[in-house]
Chain A
Amino acid sequence: MMYAHSSHQTDQPILDARGVSVRYNGRAALENVTFHLHSGERVAVAGPNGAGKSTLFKVVSGALPPDSGEVNISGSRPAKHSCIAYVPQRSQVDWNFPVSVADVAMMGRSAKLGPFNFPKKRDWDFVRHALHTVELDNLATRQIGELSGGQQQRMFIARALAQEAELMLMDEPLTGLDTPAQEGLLNLLDKLRADKVTVMVATHDLEQAASHFDKILLLNKKIIAFGEPRSVLRAENLLIAYGGRYKAVDDSCCEEGFDERAH
Chain B
Amino acid sequence: MSALINGLAAPLQYEFMQRGMIAAALVGALCAIVGTYVVLRGMSFFGDALAHTILPGVAIGYLVSGGARDTLFWWALATSVLAALGIGAVSRQSAIKEDTAIGVIFAGMFALGVALISTVRSYAVDLSHFLFGDVLGVSSQNLWLIIIFGGLVLFTIGAFYKEFLTVSFDPILAATLRLPVNLLNNLLLTLIAVTVAVSLQTVGVALMVAMLVTPAATASLLTRRLPSMMALAALLAALASVIGLYLSYYLSVASGAAIVLTATLFFVIVFIWKR
The interface of chain A, by Cβ under 8 A from chain B, is 61-63, 79-82, 84-86, 88, 93-94, 96-100, 103-104, 106-108, 110-111, 113, 115-116, 118-119, 143, 159, 163
B1 CB-CB contact with A under 8 Å: no
Q: Is the CB of A82 within 8 A of B159?
A: no
Give Cα distance in the complex from A107 to B177, angstroms.
Answer: 9
- Report Cα–Cα, A84/B175, bound state, in Å: 10
- How would residues 154 to 190 of chain B score, 1 for a CB under 8 Å from any chain A CB and 0 otherwise? 0000011111011001101111111100000000000
Cross-chain contact A99 with B177 (CB below 8 angstroms): no
Closest 3 CB pairs of A and B: A111-B177, A143-B224, A110-B162
| A63-B175, A97-B40, A98-B40 known; A115-B169 Cβ under 8 A | no
A80 and B166 contact, Cβ closer than 8 Å, known pairs A98-B40, A115-B160: no
Instruction: Judge if B120 is at the interface, Cβ distance under 8 Å.
Output: no
The binding surface of chain B is classed by DSSP as helix
Q: Which residues of B contact A110 (CB under 8 A)?
A: 162-163, 165-166, 174, 177, 179
Can you sample 28 A-B contacts with CB below 8 Å? A62-B175, A62-B176, A82-B177, A84-B176, A86-B172, A86-B176, A88-B170, A88-B172, A94-B40, A94-B169, A98-B223, A98-B225, A98-B228, A98-B229, A99-B165, A99-B169, A99-B226, A103-B165, A106-B162, A107-B165, A107-B166, A107-B169, A108-B177, A111-B178, A115-B160, A115-B163, A118-B161, A159-B173
A82–B223 CA distance with the chains assembled, in angstroms? 32
Say if the beta carbon of B262 comes within 8 Å of chain A: no
Q: Could you tell me if A104 and B169 are in contact, using CB atoms closer than 8 angstroms?
A: yes
Given the interface pairs A98-B224, A98-B229, A99-B225, the reply to whether A111 lies near B179 with Cβ below 8 Å is yes
Chain A min CB distance to B32 (Å): 14
Decide: A86 near B173, CB < 8 A? Known: A80-B178, A98-B223, A99-B165.
Answer: yes
**Chain B CB within 10 Å — which of A94, A113, A143 has the most?**
A94
**Interface 1/0s, chain B 129-165, versus A by CB < 8 A?**
0000000000000000000000000000001111101
B177 and A118: CB pair below 8 A? no
Distance of A163 Cα from B177 Cα, bound (Å): 8
Q: Which residues of B contact A88 (CB under 8 A)?
A: 170, 172
* Most chain B beta-carbon neighbours within 10 Å: one of A79, A93, A97: A97
How distant is the Cα of A113 from the Cα of B177 in the complex, in angstroms? 11
- The minimal Cβ–Cβ distance linking B225 to chain A, given in whole angstroms, is 5
Query: Counting CB contacts under 8 A, is B199 at the interface?
Result: no
**Bound-complex Cα distance A98 to B177 (A):** 21
In the complex, the answer to whether A107 meets B170 with C-beta atoms within 8 Å is yes
CA of A143 to CA of B176, assembled, Å: 24
- Which residues of chain A are within 8 angstroms of B163 by Cβ–Cβ distance? 110, 115
**Which of A62, A79, A98, A116 has the most chain B CB atoms closer than 10 A to its own CB?**
A98
CB distance from A170 to the nearest CB of B (A): 13
B201 contacts chain A at the CB level, 8 A cutoff: no
B220 at the interface (CB under 8 A from A): yes
A103 to B169, CA, bound (A): 11
Q: Which of A81, A106, A108, A110 has the most CB of B within 10 A?
A: A110
* A85 in complex: contacting residue of B40, B176, B223, CB < 8 Å: B176
| Complex: chain A residue closest to B161, CB-CB | A118
Interface centre among B166, B173, B228, B229 (most CB of A within 10 A): B173
A108 CA to B175 CA, complexed, in Å:
11
Q: Tell me which residues across on chain B come within 8 A of A96, comparing CB atoms.
A: 220
Question: Chain B nearest CB: distance from A222 CB in Å?
Answer: 25
Q: For A107, give its contact among B162, B175, B178, B225 (CB under 8 Å).
A: B162
With the chains together, A100 CA to B224 CA distance in Å? Answer: 8
Nearest A residue (CB) for B171: A63
Determine the chain B residues whose CB is within 8 A of the CB of A106 once the complex forms: 162
Which residues of the partner chain B approach A118 to less than 8 Å between Cβ atoms? 161-162
Additional 12 contacts, C-beta under 8 A, given A93-B170, A110-B165:
A62-B176, A63-B176, A81-B178, A86-B173, A94-B169, A97-B40, A99-B225, A104-B169, A110-B166, A111-B178, A111-B179, A159-B173
Bound Cα distance A82, B177 (Å): 5
Complex Cα spacing A55 to B177, Å: 18
Report the Cα distance A106→B176, complex, angstroms: 15
A81 CB contacts on chain B under 8 angstroms: 178
Q: Which residues of B contact A97 (CB under 8 A)?
A: 40, 169
Residues of A close to B162: CB separation below 8 A: 106-107, 110, 113, 118-119
Contacts of B224 in A (CB 8 A): 98, 100, 143
Give complex CA distance A35, B162 in Å: 36
Q: Hey, which chain B residues are within 8 Å of A98, CB to CB? A: 40, 220, 223-226, 228-229
List residues of chain B with CB within 8 A of the CB of A82.
Answer: 176-178
Give min CB distance, B234 to chain A, whole Å.
15
Please give the distance in Å from B92's CB to the nearest CB on chain A: 15
CA distance A99 to B173 in the complex (A): 15
CB-nearest residue of chain A to B175 = A63
Minimum CB distance partner of B229 in chain A: A98
